[in-house]
Amino acid sequence: MAKLIRNSLLVGICLILCLSGPPFLLAESEPSLDEIKQLLQKSLTIYEIDREIARLTGREAEIAKRITETEKEIGAEQERLVRTREHAGKILRAYYMGERDNLWMLMFNADSFSDAISIYQYLNMILENDKRKLNAYSDSYQQLNRTRDQLKEDEIELKRVKEEFIRQRERVLALQQEVDDQLAASEEAAEVFQQMVDLTTAWQEKGLPVFRTYFQAIADEMNDISDLFNNGGTNKYLNGLTFQISDQELIDYFREKNPLFENIDFSFEDGLFTADGKEDDVEVSIQGRYIIENKPKNRLQFRVEQLTFNGFVLPDTTNRALEEEFPLGFSPETFVPFIHASEVTTDKGMFTLKLKLKLN
């Protein structure tokens, strides 16, 4: 899709160049620096949304395949259920008709105590076999219901992915039309187009790898952040169940763990957590906020709100993709089993986490 869009755009520009001649007959005025930046911003957004469309396409195929496999499993489970139901029915009828009671009477007609023991062992084997067959029916029935539930979840997820695909496709087509119209009215269409190509190339080859490196490093340290809770160094607990640490203390802690963080700074302001970093000619910024989730378990989760690459803001699709790829949260109860997070704030350079004792 991205290649198709770029090729279509290039063909369009070539037609403009051929038909208009120098200077362009369609040109109205030379674009301002702000207009050029807007075009570059849109081109980067188009590239990233197109990347999300490709991801959604792969996700759709993956879910569709899983649905097909689940439907086959349901067919197999139904066959197993029929077989186990027949066995279970025979056993239940035997108990209902008193056939098993008659077998127990054999013990009282035994000629000796040793014969009674042998009969008891034989009857116990029958009962165990009955139990296994009844359990097999129960297990088959429960497994069938679980498989059906999974199928419903997959179908809902597939519908959501398809809807998101359509939404993103419409979004990228609208943006592409805006870019085409602006380029058609530009005296420097070819030059601006080259800048667009250079920007997306720089993002693909330099920007995205830097973001992935930073996200991975932060995720790794978040998974091993127990030291802050257990001994804390310069961090402190207020009133016993309120943990607090400054942005400078946190980045110092991270730098001790990984020298990569020498190129990154943290800040806690206005409810946001911001990480700014620079690698050679690449400047990036990660901004978001921590929220508390209670399902499936109590967890402090980071939600990405804005990513910036060399002054250009990445679309929300990039935020969600990196957020899903690299989990940046943690669960306090992993380090202290009897507590859970109840409130979190990031303001005036301080990260404050209020904790509560678990009552059950």
Report the C-alpha gap between 5 and 175 in whole angstroms.
11
Residue 276 predicted with pLDDT over 90: yes
The residue type found at 174 is A
User: Around Cβ 34, how many Cβ atoms within 10 Å?
Assistant: 8
Using DSSP bridges, classify how beta strands 272-279 and 264-269 pair: parallel, antiparallel or unpaired.
antiparallel
Higher pLDDT, 263 or 106: 263
3-state secondary structure of 305: strand
114 in Cβ contact with 40 (< 8 Å): no
Most confidently predicted of 8-22, 25-39, 146-160: 146-160
Among left, alpha and beta (phi > 0; psi -120 to 50; other), residue 19 is alpha
Report the C-alpha gap between 93 and 115 in whole angstroms.
28
Q: Worst-scoring range by mean pLDDT, 2-6, 30-34, 63-67, 75-79?
A: 2-6
pLDDT of 17-52, one tens digit each?
333 333 333 334 566 788 889 999 999 999 999 999
Mean predicted confidence (pLDDT) in 233-249: 72
Most confidently predicted of 5-19, 41-55, 62-76, 211-225: 41-55
pLDDT, position 88: 61
What DSSP designation does 94 have?
H
Q: What is the DSSP string of 125-166?
A: HHHHHHHHHHHHHHHHHHHHHHHHHHHHHHHHHHHHHHHHHH
User: Around Cβ 358, how many Cβ atoms within 10 Å?
Assistant: 12
140 in Cβ contact with 81 (< 8 Å): yes
Residue 76 predicted with pLDDT over 90: no
The percent of residues in the chain predicted with pLDDT above 70, rounded, is 72
The verdict on pTM exceeding 0.85 is: no
284 in Cβ contact with 214 (< 8 Å): yes
The percent of residues in the chain predicted with pLDDT above 90, rounded, is 39
For 352, phi then psi, to 5°, come to: -125, 125
Higher pLDDT, 321 or 99: 321
Residue 56 predicted with pLDDT over 50: yes
Mean predicted confidence (pLDDT) in 311-327: 93
pLDDT, position 94: 57
pLDDT, position 1: 45
pLDDT, position 262: 92
pLDDT of 184-240, one tens digit each?
887 888 899 999 999 999 999 999 999 999 999 998 888 777 677 665 544 465 566
Report the C-alpha gap between 185 and 28 in whole angstroms.
6
Tokens of 122: 């034989």
Report the C-alpha gap between 74 and 350 in whole angstroms.
53
Residue 322 predicted with pLDDT over 90: yes
Higher pLDDT, 146 or 232: 146
Provide the residue ranges of all domains of the chain, joining segments of one domain with +. Answer: 1-20+30-187, 206-357
Residue 350 predicted with pLDDT over 90: yes
Higher pLDDT, 239 or 241: 241
Mean predicted confidence (pLDDT) in 8-22: 39
Calculate helix-pair angle for 113-184, 99-108, nearest 10 degrees. Answer: 150
Residue 329 predicted with pLDDT over 90: no
Residue 12 predicted with pLDDT over 60: no
Higher pLDDT, 53 or 27: 53
Q: Is residue 101 classed exposed, middle or buried when 0-12, 13-18 and 19+ CB atoms within 10 A define those classes? A: exposed
Per the prediction, the chain carries an average pLDDT of 80
Tokens of 101: 């009671």
pLDDT, position 147: 84
Mean predicted confidence (pLDDT) in 315-339: 87
Domain 1-20+30-187: assigned CATH number:
1.10.287
Q: Give every strand in the sheet of 242-246, ordered side by side.
A: 236-238, 242-246, 350-357, 339-347
pLDDT, position 213: 94
Mean predicted confidence (pLDDT) in 296-318: 93
> Considering only CA atoms, which of 309, 308, 318, 319 is closest in space to residue 282?
309
pLDDT, position 8: 45
